[in-house]
Chains A and B, each alone.
Chain A
Amino acid sequence: DGGITQSPKYLFRKEGQNVTLSCEQNLNHDAMYWYRQDPGQGLRLIYYSQIVNDFQKGDIAEGYSVSREKKESFPLTVTSAQKNPTAFYLCASSYNSKREKLFFGSGTQLSVL
């Protein structure tokens, strides 16, 4: 079945540590996105990529980094510079960047130890 796979489902970060969240899709979508969701709030865009080897900052990119070396994969690294990383992270993809419907993964809950 086609879809978006995020892993791990739960992740714990120690202070000063970088952690990487995985996002893989087999939908043959060009565009991929990372959103952050805090409790009781909507989603905020961290980074997005419209094509392989290219990505742009979203609204809250500070303290995060991404790469897009393959069409299927768009990992997100939460660096030690992100002082408040506890949140639910959602990866999404769309066929292209020209206003197509987003498909979401199942999410990763990141917590700080």
Chain B
Amino acid sequence: DTGVSQNPRHKITKRGQNVTFRCDPISEHNRLYWYRQTLGQGPEFLTYFQNEAQLEKSRLLSDRFSAERPKGSFSTLEIQRTEQGDSAMYLCASSYMTGDEQYFGPGTRLTVT
């Protein structure tokens, strides 16, 4: 299967802990996106990379959040000092340079207790 993959699929953590998620995009895709989805809502954009460069960050991405894509392939999203409000599904998507078709992974569901 050459789709977008995300790990872990589920993460339960205690408030104040740090967590890191990984996304592996479709191999030939240049762009990689992170979105967050809370219950009953559509996904909201967080940030995106073109190759290894992080080109846009949403105001939703507080300074506790950091994303990297060091070699232009997989990406990680780290949340430091997690809060209960961080509980959500974190979705990764990838696309070619044009960005017309964004393909999503299965998501990582984060629960902060």
Do chains A and B stick together as partners?
no
| Interface residue ranges, A against B (CB under 8 Å) | none
